[in-house]
Structure 1
Amino acid sequence: MTIQVHQFPCLSDNYGYLVHDSQSGETVCIDTPDAEAYLREAAAKGWRITQIWNTHWHPDHAGGNEAIKAQTGALVVAPAVDAPRIAAVDRTVAGGDLVALDGVDAQVIDVGGHTMGHVAYWLPTAGIAFVGDALFALGCGRMFEGEPGQFWASLSRLKALPEDTTIYCAHEYTASNARFAVHADPDNAALAAYAAEVETRRGAGEPTVPTVLKREIATNPFLRADDPAMQARWGGGDAVQTFAALRAAKDSFR
């Protein structure tokens, strides 16, 4: 495989991602929370930035578009629904579209809910997906703009990807997510083990991202809203109601 992913921390708790195709020399920025950090990291790797793929409009995801484009001439790809609030867009995409890093295709997945137009980028041949703020390790994004049914449908699309897919999310939120997850699903032994591992890794200053979809399906309460035990515990008659109850509880959890 010619695809390399370079992950680095930026801002207070974001992760930046540069995806590089060693065959063509192309490099894509997944979101642009901090233009200086992206340009610095690309220069250190000797990589030429050619594209930007935005997941959604929030400034900690698209705020560096103009500065990076000015320096590199990168093509900016952004979700169509969110594009009016994103700078320097050259191409808009929606669920079902394809983007490419040279000859390596990425499928655009509609994951609206955190924002209405949020998208994820899945590179099937590389077995990786960049999900922005739609899905986190042991959590999901706040539902700022969407509705529970929309957001559950979005998570279901991600849940349907191959189980061995490596999930790159945009923030290091896993420790706080783990505390809520254990509260939400206290009898889940796999979750308890995962939460203990997260505590150890964060204590050592290590990242907990990326994660693997199979593990999230077994432990992430938001992906388990269709599980009868979770529905019984959270009073939801179906997955959408259970997801809504979980998301509301997480919003006020301390």
Structure 2
Amino acid sequence: MQVERLPVLSDNYIFLLYDPTYNIAAVVDPAEAAPVLHRLRELNAELVTIFNTHHHSDHVGGNRQLLQHFPQATVYGGAEDQDRIPGQQIFLSEGDRVKFSDRPGEVFFVPGHTRAHIAYYFPAQTPNEPGELFCGDTLFAGGCGRLFEGTPQQMVSSLTKLRSLPDNTRVWCAHEYTLKNLKFALTVDDNNADLKHRFEQVKVARSQDIATVPSTIGLEKLTNPFMRWDDVALQSKVKSQDPVQTFARLRGMKDQF
């Protein structure tokens, strides 16, 4: 399974999964149809699956047009997003399984950003390759999604699931927010040498218009404050020893940043 990143809108990423053996493709969170159709024509590939993580328009905006071109494609989304995702046919819950070509995937229910958000995880098939996590707007490189429909408790629970994945898991998050996320992270975790190093790398990358996605679970555990709610230094910064309250206070500070 090859993963391609298609930049769209101002800062979104669509992810195209491609199997060159069978010349088929899947797409994750198609904000727009045109770039997906363009790439499919270049590959001469058939779209067989649309994986949606949640209902926001910048993740499902291309569904209907893609279905006009590939009416046989199957649209997946969370069970609790029923009637909110255009063309949805499969309604997924925690622990459900999905498949693209011969690559099996697992579904995580990860509410917080929205009440129905899910993530797709394709475990590594050999010891030398990474797993692939498509997490929508739950986990970002250096950050996490705003809590539009969920609670801090839900988001901590959701991020705990993702934090438990192997460190080399690639994190395909749906927005290029990394530089701003790390600028905030430095305001609350300024003694973190790994964070400082990452920030300098990201500054250079973005000055050259180089994408910072994918990240990895291991890197997020070292440098993302929203994956470190149990870190003593961060708890001291927000004056709380409670993990959920620590997360909530960090999220509130980020919302005002």
**TM-score strictly above 0.5:** yes
Q: 1:176 aligns with which of 168, 175, 180?
A: 180
Pairing 1:249–2:250 present: no
1:203-234 deviations in Å (ceiling 9; x for gaps): 01111111111011000000000112211111
Aligned equivalent of 2:40: 42
Equivalent in 64, 67, 82 of residue 66 of structure 1? 64
Q: For structure 1, which segment, 155-164 or 45-54, has the greater mean C-alpha deviation from structure 2 after superposition?
A: 45-54
Give the deviation of 1:20 after TM superposition: 1.3
Question: Unaligned regions of 5+ residues in structure 2, if any?
Answer: 126-130
TM-score by length of 1: 0.96
Is 1:100 aligned to residue 99 of structure 2? yes
Q: For residues 111-150 of structure 1, what are the structure 2 equivalents within 5 Å?
A: 111-125=110-124, 127-150=131-154
AA in 2 matched with 1:243: F
Aligned AA for 1:60?
Answer: D
SS in 1 for 2:80: coil
Q: Compute the RMSD of aligned alpha carbons.
A: 1.0
Q: Partner amino acid for 1:114?
A: H
Are the counterparts in 2 of residues 129 and 165 from structure 1 also a CA contact under 8 Å? yes
Instruction: Determine the C-alpha separation between the residues in 2 that align with 1:46 and 1:182.
Output: 45
Report how many residues are paired. 251
Q: Is the 8 A contact 2:23 2:44 kept in 1?
A: no
Q: Is the 8 A contact 2:152 2:248 kept in 1?
A: yes
1:86-235 to structure 2, matched below 5 A, reads 86-125=85-124, 127-235=131-239
Structure 1's unaligned 5+ residue stretches are: none
Q: How far apart in 2 are the matches of 1:188 and 1:249? A: 18
Kindly provide the amino acid, as one letter, of the partner of residue 55 in structure 1: T
Deviation of the 1:236 alpha carbon: 2.0
CA distance in 2, matches of 1:19, 1:7: 9
1:55-89 deviation digits (Å, cap 9, x = unpaired):
00000001111110110121101111122211111
- Distance in 2 between residues matched to 1:43 and 1:125, nearest whole Å: 28
- 4+ residue stretches of structure 1 with deviation over 6 A? none
Q: What secondary structure does 2:13 align onto?
A: strand
Measure the CA separation in 2 of the matches of 1:47 and 1:227.
46
- TM-score, scaled to structure 2: 0.95
- After TM superposition, list the pairs within 5 Å mapping 1:18-33 onto structure 2: 18-33=16-31
> What does the per-residue CA deviation read over 1:71-109, in whole Å, with 9 as the maximum and x for residues that have no partner?
012110111112221111111101110010122111001
- Distance in 1 (CA, whole Å) between partners of 2:220 and 2:12 is 20
Distance in structure 2 (CA, Å) of the matches to 1:83 and 1:11? 25
Contact 1:18 1:42 in 2 (8 A): no
